[in-house]
Chain A
């Protein structure tokens, strides 16, 4: 043991064999950004084909491969790993721990991701093409009627599931065991709370997804009939299993985003979060409700009316804790001393657009109305308001907010603000008109459409190209910051920032909190 003990290893082995939470966090973040660009590229193909009515660039079968891979890559490759990367970087620093509880497993849970996505992407070059049954892969389109590449898809999903479960176990173990003395549960920053609850959701539902794809594998290769009525099975069973995973999954995506926003809004309001305890309870309520609302994705499958009513009422209830969150953020801003640096702009963008997505979510929960909304572009607009303007905007805010702490350099504020405004405008040009075409009757997942939808689709495509291009500005800004940004050395980069991560030097050294810190004040007070 020499002096090198405290520094990273040299060369590629640093990254291959690292057990350091900061290195692994960095790898997760870069990997997820690469996937964001790949999934975004697929989206550009989709929007280019939909620019005008008629088939122009791709064939219908390939179009379906694009929509499928876009969804899978964005959900499993971009959004989920990005928040795991954030958790890796921040949770140990926020709770005063030296590292994650299970560092070798941490390495493994990252390194199985790239091969899984390589395998998924390679299906594009296989005979019969990539999976073309949508990211929801409803049977029997995804079993009896799927291209042979579906087997590779199933294997990829298994690996992603293993990665997520390992990552979540690590987070649970870290939060439960590694908190500095005095860091009680109700003093933890909300980002840690939201991730703890998210990790429990992941451990609960990823095995269900694994079960679903295993049943598919059996149906395809081993002659079972789980999802085939002809053999005594049930295609609707697939949807129940999928959405029992799938609905908690959307909260898995959005809860860490809530956590991020709950850190950033108080910092730039220079005022404690209005209701810390009620935010924790609201998060837990949302997590609980997420398990009993899954069939609201299935109002048209022909459920008995009692089931339909139960899922409608339960789904409507989610509006209550979600409303509590929005009210809390706005009360936090109320009579603060607000400033509008890039992270705050993205959080305000989140607040407005996520709330709009919440409203359309409430509309979708109303079962009889859903008979008209279901599987139209209205749904597409809804979930992009919550997934992109919700999860992606908050993730972007997080990068701008913590990047100076990570690398000790300040990003270019003017470029950051430009990125925000182009993103905000581009996003709304893309997705707002999709509410209109959806209500007017345009189904989702179609490569070509009737003429009355043409104008809004062209508008949507133009917005998508703008939004897509603005992400390259983000990439440039981050790289320029890491390589040559203006150095910052204040421990507290932002004057309103609170929490243990802002007590370590800037940039954060390779090892932090080898000695547990003193925990002075409860979170949520200044």
Chain B
């Protein structure tokens, strides 16, 4: 109770004292961000000036023209001159606002001549980033919320970047025009990073364009800004802007890892490897709904499940295609063959399911194509 009270007192005082209570838009780090910020401030100050003038007249009237002071009401009404003036003057002010607004909008829409294209796909409730490269191994990965359930449900202390941290951030090079192609897999999402002034709706079946050129290295955070279901508040965006060299090194490492996965998919993996990797996939993709012990929750129990312990191809179909009309989403596009094989193996052997079935990446590939 004492904490809540002091919090309440702080809430009233801190806007004056504490710096972390940001009260205005941030100009961010990009040129467009700065332009938008200037435009925002310009319009705001125009509104403030008009507001002060209008309210000054009103408050003077409230002060001076009171009946209680014996003020007699005059009975004037209508004046064409005044009425024309207060129609025309605001119109002229609006034209003055429209000029910078139009030029900034044209900048926002200038998607040409990008040096790097990244396809961003919104999923319930994570982002997928795919670097559209002209050659070599494709680089694509999912970016999930990294904040723990314990922090969200108040059993652990919340970290500094609570709800704004991901397991794998988007990495972009600085001083490079990066074009984002934004779409979604299920419902509409919206990809927003305030500091680089990019917000674009991610719409299933459509691809929207946006762009940025980040001059400074740094970590920029944002969130999904279109209601997309229960965990809409839990799909942050984290962008790391790094130097060109660092980016190239990161890209090479990513490609190496992707190539290794492709290699792996052609091999026969040991049960231990499958179980280890399967647990990792389960914990990131399944656990939130099906429980840490496979006991179920939002989703059905995995332990003792007829689907999991029954026909393998049906089991994989459920995982890959989801169950329409339920919270069970389709993971087919999110897991590669190795991950799919691992998680199937894990589900069929963990939590006392002990079927002894081992699913190899080759089996997954076979079922997909057959």
Contacts and interface: CB of A to CB of B under 8 A. Distances in A.
Given A54-B152, A271-B73, A274-B77, A455 B15 contact: yes
B73 to A, nearest CB: 4
B108 A441 contact: no
A445 B78 contact: no
B190 interface: yes
Interface string A77-110: 0000000000000000000000000000000000
A355 B54 contact: yes
Interface in B1-31: 7-8, 10-12, 14-15, 18, 20-26
Interface string A296-334: 000011100100110011001101100110110011111
Interface string B190-226: 1010100111110111101100000000000011111
A63 to B, nearest CB: 8
A336 B61 contact: yes
Interface residues on B, range: 35 or more
Nearest to B193: A441
B15 A234 contact: no
A228 B203 CA distance: 10
Contacts, number: 303
A197 B6 CA distance: 51
Contact of A352 (B55, B74, B161, B186): B55
A504 interface: no
A363 B40 contact: yes
Contact of B67 (A270, A320, A369): A270
Interface in A254-296: 269-278
A375 B225 contact: yes
Nearest to B200: A300
Nearest to A140: B187
B249 interface: no
Contacts of B102: 309, 312
A426 interface: no
A177 interface: no
A276 B83 CA distance: 11
Given A338-B66, A458-B8, A134 B227 contact: yes
Given A300-B199, A333-B61, A440-B23, A371 B153 contact: no
A229 B209 contact: no
B254 interface: no
Interface stretch (B91-99, B313-321, B357-365): B91-99
A443 B226 CA distance: 8
Contacts of A324: 83, 86-87
A330 B61 contact: yes
A440 B161 CA distance: 15
B224 to A, nearest CB: 7
B36 A372 contact: yes
A340 B55 CA distance: 17
A55 B101 CA distance: 40
B188 interface: yes
A138 B227 CA distance: 9
A333 B62 contact: yes
Given A271-B73, A363-B44, A367-B105, A376 B225 contact: yes
16 contacts: A60-B231, A145-B186, A271-B73, A272-B75, A300-B199, A335-B65, A337-B66, A338-B62, A366-B39, A375-B190, A435-B23, A443-B225, A447-B233, A449-B163, A456-B21, A459-B11
Given A273-B77, A339-B67, 18 more contacts: A54-B152, A55-B152, A55-B154, A64-B227, A229-B205, A276-B77, A309-B102, A320-B90, A330-B57, A330-B61, A338-B62, A339-B68, A356-B51, A368-B101, A436-B22, A445-B227, A446-B223, A448-B233
